[in-house]
Structure 1
Amino acid sequence: MMNDAALRKIDLNLLLAFSVLMQERNVSRAAERLLLGQPGLSAALRRLRETLDDELFVRVGRGLQPTARALSIAPAIEDALSGIERAIRPPAAFDPSSWQGEFRVGMCDNLESDFFGPLAARLRGLAPNARLTGVAFDKREAGRLLDEGAYDFSISVHDEPASWHIRAPLFNQASACIYDPRHIRLDAPLGLEDFAKADHITVSLEGNTLTNVDLALARVGYHRQVVATVPRYSALPMALRAMPAIATIPESIARCMAQLHNLTVSQPPLDLPADPVTMLYRRVDQADSRAVWFRRLFVEVVADALHASGCRVGVSNAACCYEQAPLAVAV
């Protein structure tokens, strides 16, 4: 067990002075290397002698000769100083091309549909030996799962984070209406009357039917008929293709569904607030080169995917914590 009381008597500068004196065997040259005056080095040597109860170095002519005690402890002190130097050395650059391991990201299913595929493809090209795992989660459990190591970060409309987490903005998610033009023969953009008269499908994991759309309609004197509620976004396209109904969902997933299932996207005829999509990660990972690289990659994937889908939103790089540099370079 480490003897804390003994270690408190010696600071790092004394050990460094001992090491340089052992190498130089000359006070003047040692003082020059240490950027000290000879009186300062002599004072350090005096403290070492008092602490170790040994003369350590004896003046012989113009040089110094180490005592048996000094010779016996020198290898251990050199090893200790080398270990400290290695420990405080800046971490090596993260090299995704050679890294072997797993990246894990938590996303709800609407964001997963938008970004998981492009992220996996980009990661495969940059880090061919890595594996990407998507973790489904309830945003109410996001902090707990993050602390348990379920993922590197999560993407959602997160609640207020704990003090040991960081919630970084990504983009503001607008709403969009989506429907099958074979069943609903209306051109975009939809009018308020047509929107309110149509049947509607909602998405809710808990089965809730009242949403911000209903509140916005009520404010302008309308209400709508919700005919179905699906628990996940993955069930929505086939439901819309099966019946004449409108769904009002996040714009990014709406545009993704429209491209895959020949559906029509329309701006809502209501003023609906945008949802702030954020990234939640651990404060202890803020400067880790691997974690920063992965967060930065994800931000770039999100920006590219939103642009490709036609979403006109800006993506924040607040989650990156990096200076602009090529992806393969540590950040």
Structure 2
Amino acid sequence: MNIARVDLNLMVYLDVLLRERNVTRAAEQLGITQPAMSNGLRRLRELFGDPLLIRTSDGMTPTERALELQPLIREALLAMEKTIQPKEDFVPESSQRVFRIMASDYAESTLIPMVLQKVRANAPNVTLDILTPSDVSFHDVEQGWVDMAINRFASLPQSFHQLRVWQDDFSCVISKDNPILKNFTLETYLESQHIWASKTGMGVGVGVNPEDVQRLGWVDEALAAAGKKRKISVFTRHYQVAMLLSAQNDLIATLPSRLAEMERFNTKIAVVPPPFEIPSFDLSMAWSPLLHHDSAHQWLRQIIKSINNCQ
């Protein structure tokens, strides 16, 4: 039998009839007339090919088939009621949800500590699972397997939602023993050796071609626009490593300013503006439309937005 041809209201009638075992009381409970309930019982008998309820000296008595159907009908109706109920609001204080976030090394170092602080203060049992860009594909985010990607995006799938977290510029991190600090110009900058740090894309990384300026990122593109090129001694995908290496007195790391500022109390290095203009960039969060209306996801996005508002 094709369920599309079945009046599912009859299942509600049957559930009440088997519980009340009385046509009049069943009709009253459903707010319909007794003739309407009697007609419903007739249709149910035709549907199942069984009398279902038989009048005896003890009242309306269910048949063996009716007794088999009763728990099945009740379970099906409960599942349907659960399906159509409005989804409960996210309650941070009691939630044990795991949020999976793809974060670049930059975002993990600068943003995630502040996110974690707010999450723990408001939702102590919520867990953050931080993934790297190499762990995740856009497909993972699109399918909702990863809650969010936080990175600098050159492009995103058209279906994604995104929001700028903040804008940042660049600073140079240099050892205080480096004599260049006495005369820090574009000329001395170009004469020095440099540390390159970047891994903003998603997917498995590959080796860097020092001659491919278009793939070296903001710093080298800005120099190329002025007809200049720096000497890169070290390529790393980790900003924290770049900052550690910059303590060597002959190396310069040109890094996002929010990251560089994390070392402002380090007595071994100095943080200074670059001697040329580098365009600023946006850190953004992106998520699947499948999660856009999820109350827990909305809560996490609001946490991140509030961090930016406090900057």
- State the Cα distance separating 1:27 from its structure 2 match: 6.3
Q: TM-score, normalised by structure 2?
A: 0.70
- State the Cα distance separating 1:114 from its structure 2 match: 0.7
Aligned match of 1:176: 170
Aligned match of 2:208: 207
Instruction: Indicate if the aligned counterparts of 2:222 and 2:278 stay in contact, CA closer than 8 A.
Output: yes
Which residues of structure 2 form unaligned runs of 5+?
200-206
Instruction: Indicate if the aligned counterparts of 2:101 and 2:148 stay in contact, CA closer than 8 A.
Output: yes
| Match status 1:132 vs 2:128 | yes
Give the letter aligned to residue 252 of structure 1.
R
- State the Cα distance separating 1:112 from its structure 2 match: 1.1
Cα offsets for 1:196-227 (capped at 9, x unmatched): 666543224633543433433343x4414324
Instruction: Indicate if the aligned counterparts of 1:106 and 1:137 stay in contact, CA closer than 8 A.
Output: yes
Give the letter aligned to residue 142 of structure 1.
S
| Match status 1:274 vs 2:270 | no
Instruction: Indicate if the aligned counterparts of 1:17 and 1:44 stay in contact, CA closer than 8 A.
Output: yes
Instruction: Indicate if the aligned counterparts of 1:195 and 1:269 stay in contact, CA closer than 8 A.
Output: no
C-alpha RMSD over aligned residues: 4.2
Cα offsets for 1:93-128 (capped at 9, x unmatched): 444444446443222212111123333333333343
Q: TM-score, normalised by structure 1?
A: 0.66
* Residues 263, 37 of structure 1: alpha-carbon distance in 2 compared, 3 angstrom cutoff: farther
Q: Which moved more, 1:82-91 or 1:25-34?
A: 25-34
Give the letter aligned to residue 10 of structure 1.
V
Aligned match of 1:257: 263
Aligned match of 2:12: 16
Equivalenced residue count is: 292
Cα offsets for 1:24-74 (capped at 9, x unmatched): 6676775565465777656544432321234556799xxx94653685234
Q: 2:234 aligns with which of 220, 229, 234?
A: 229
SS in 2 for 1:241: coil
Give the letter aligned to residue 134 of structure 2.
D
* Residues 81, 58 of structure 1: alpha-carbon distance in 2 compared, 3 angstrom cutoff: same
Q: Using the aligned pairs only, state the percent identity.
A: 27
SS in 2 for 1:14: helix
Counterparts of residues 42-121 of structure 1 (less than 5 Å): 44-56=40-52, 65=60, 68=63, 72=67, 73-100=69-96, 102-121=98-117
SS in 1 for 2:130: strand
SS in 1 for 2:261: helix
Give the letter aligned to residue 169 of structure 1.
L
Instruction: Indicate if the aligned counterparts of 2:196 and 2:254 stay in contact, CA closer than 8 A.
Output: yes
Give the letter aligned to residue 243 of structure 1.
N
Q: Which moved more, 1:66-75 or 1:172-181?
A: 66-75
* Residues 176, 49 of structure 1: alpha-carbon distance in 2 compared, 3 angstrom cutoff: same
Give the letter aligned to residue 178 of structure 1.
C
In 1, Cα distance between equivalents of 2:26 and 2:155: 56
Which residues of structure 1 form unaligned runs of 5+?
308-331
SS in 2 for 1:242: coil
Aligned match of 1:154: 149
* Residues 39, 274 of structure 1: alpha-carbon distance in 2 compared, 3 angstrom cutoff: farther
